[in-house]
Structure 1
Amino acid sequence: MSALQNPLAYQPDVLGEDYEQLKLSFANDYEGEVCATLIRKKATQTTTKAVLYIHGFIDYFFQTEMAEQFNQHGYDFYALDLRKYGRSRLSHQNYYNVRDLREYDDEITQALEIIGAEGHLSVVLAGHSTGGLITTLYAAHHPQHPLIKALWANSPFYDFNMHPIKRKLGVPQLSRLAKHFPDLKFPSELNKWYVPSLHQSEHGEWNFDLQWKQPSYSMVRISFVRAIHEAQKEIHCGGLKLSVPALIMHSHQTLNPKKWGVAAQTSDVILDVKDIEKQAKNLQGDICVETIQNGLHDLVLSAPDVRAEVYTKLFQWLEQKKI
């Protein structure tokens, strides 16, 4: 489907006033019918600048403060709920099921086409965690894209957070097995305190759908492991080049708390920040890496003073780069 050949029938979004959504349709995949959802919040003043945000694993777009920050700084805000996530998951689909991260290229490409058709000349491509990996690869694979002018990666999933032996030997074995048995499941080992540190029903300040961003996810399909492993290899080899400036942010520490406490509120409990920093150095191009003291895995969901630092550094960087 070409965005330029069809009327854009935006509908009111679940986030309420000023948020709109547009359903995007694609060819069937191994589970059948596929769609994605483009969410939009326009700035109060007409602008040719926009941001396109991609969420992480077991996630969807709900970070309204981030959208409003971009609006206040003169950007129209767009976000995608990828296929099989959040607003886009259909009843016959397994949540988050993917076999190759390039499956998401279709919705990113179509979203950018729509953003361009709506009068924008430049786009900041932004992604969190798995979305940070997806957007890094998309920007690298489309070096001549006329709209993409910058990349902002918020705690990108550049490596698996696990024991080095398991990462070196176990992940490749699972990846090979996934070629033949993609739906086999493997323990996710995700820290159980992450969502409780965020949701207002427990220890956090944010209200989000606990079906779309689930409190626990004990088992993951090995097809996801393979998709991530194959994508990360492009970064690990040191040959991935970005033609636009990139800002890569991460917390100052990774901890793995076994019980509730301050660690869950002041650290990345999902990814190893040392891995993010190490792999960011493998990227070629204009790369800036920023460490955020006491940041959570999703930096824009951190404590108020922490996320204020995130936005200050982000918009200072964008102003410096004239984007």
Structure 2
Amino acid sequence: MLGADYEAIRLTLDDDAEGEVVATLVRRPCPGSRRAVLYIHGFVDYFFQTHLADFYVERGYSFYALDLRKYGRSLLDHQTPNFAHSMSDYFPEIDEAVRLIREDNDTLLVNGHSTGGLVAALWADRVRGQGLVDGLFLNSPFLELNVPTGVRRTLAPVVRALAKGRPKMAVPAGVSRSYVHSIHRDHDGEWDFDLTWKPAEGFGVRLGWLAAIIKAQRQVKAGLDIDVPVLVMASTTTVRGRNGDYSNGDGVLNADDIARWSTRLGRHVTCVRVESGLHDLVLSAAPVRAKVFEELDRWLTAYL
């Protein structure tokens, strides 16, 4: 549950093949400020990181977060959780959120995590030259599949072909149960979040969504031209296997791949590697997330 300082605004969007579609814009204002940040969550996720909002508000930013369509507060009973045919499916709610935010603010930072980082990068590239966004902070953006190169090359054409006929077919992949257990307070972590919206077993990865991710990542690899400063942060360590130390590295994505492909986002990219950072870096252990916030604060001071 969010505190009394927060307001949730429902955004009504065009219906899709499953019916009614909504998104949710969470707002926590910073009185007197004309600067804002828009947070976009990752896959099998939603906004619950109120300490992240605290960080921004303390630095004079009004905080906004989107629960994208079919996620978290926006998930409706008739919908396939977290499903999309294209990462551009999310552009309408980002456009509307930015329109609302820009009514009261002169400066806007977009902060995307994981899949939200991939979506934010593609959106920022699409709106370049329009003056809608002033900077991007991407927390472990999903710039590459976390599978061996050989598997990736074989997988992509197969997924594309199968997704055409069976886009909602589930495939054996998803958020690692070990990762979710490493962050939830009922297990090995310190964070409280709704396990119906962010379940340890995930919602299943569907072929259409995976094909959309592969297409979006191909766009990044071909090179984007984001025209504002970009900060990318990733862990120094990738964790693999059930017996890995999920308290000291990224247990979802390959951190080296994030750093590698970050250079394709635009001409002004800063990449920071965080020792012992988790996949969601701001959910890392207290000393680690203090380093994350220190680096973010330094970058904000320099560029925004």
The counterpart of 1:291, out of the listed 235, 259, 273, is 273
Contact 2:37 2:108 (8 Å CA) reproduced: yes
Report sequence identity in percent. Answer: 40
Give the Å deviation of 1:191: 2.6
Aligned to 1:241: 225
1:72 aligns with 2:58: yes
Aligned to 2:155: 170
1:271 aligns with 2:256: no
Counterpart Cα distance in 1 of 2:66 and 2:96: 11
1:32 aligns with 2:16: no
Contact 2:234 2:258 (8 Å CA) reproduced: yes
1:182 aligns with 2:182: no
Contact 2:175 2:200 (8 Å CA) reproduced: no
Instruction: Describe the shift of the 1:121–1:218 C-alpha distance in structure 2 as closer, same or farther (beyond 3 A).
Output: closer
Give the Å deviation of 1:128: 0.3
1:87 is paired with a residue of what secondary structure?
A: helix
Contact 2:174 2:205 (8 Å CA) reproduced: no
What are the residue-to-residue correspondences of 1:1-323 with 2, within 5 Å? Answer: 14-43=1-30, 45-117=31-103, 119-188=104-173, 190-217=175-202, 219-237=204-222, 239-259=223-243, 263-321=245-303, 323=304
Give the Å deviation of 1:189: 5.0
Letter in 1 for 2:130: H
Contact 2:121 2:265 (8 Å CA) reproduced: no
Give the Å deviation of 1:76: 0.2
Unaligned runs of 5+ residues in structure 2 are none
Contact 1:121 1:147 (8 Å CA) reproduced: no
Letter in 2 for 1:250: A
Give the Å deviation of 1:218: 7.0
Unaligned runs of 5+ residues in structure 1 are 1-13
Could you list the per-position Cα deviations for residues 159-209 of structure 1 after superposition, in whole angstroms to 9, with x for gaps in the alignment? 000121111111231122212211111111543210111111111110000
Aligned to 1:10: none
The alignment's C-alpha RMSD in Å is 1.2
Give the Å deviation of 1:315: 1.2
TM-score after normalising by structure 2: 0.97
Contact 1:187 1:218 (8 Å CA) reproduced: no
Aligned to 1:7: none
Letter in 2 for 1:233: R
Could you list the per-position Cα deviations for residues 40-71 of structure 1 after superposition, in whole angstroms to 9, with x for gaps in the alignment? 1112x311100001000000000000001000
Contact 1:53 1:80 (8 Å CA) reproduced: yes
How many pairs were matched up? 304
2:8 is paired with a residue of what secondary structure?
A: strand
Contact 1:296 1:302 (8 Å CA) reproduced: yes
Contact 1:172 1:229 (8 Å CA) reproduced: no
Give the Å deviation of 1:217: 2.5
Letter in 1 for 2:187: E
Could you list the per-position Cα deviations for residues 93-143 of structure 1 after superposition, in whole angstroms to 9, with x for gaps in the alignment? 1110111010100000000000012x1011101100000000011111110
Counterpart Cα distance in 1 of 2:175 and 2:149: 17
Counterpart Cα distance in 1 of 2:79 and 2:19: 8
TM-score after normalising by structure 1: 0.92
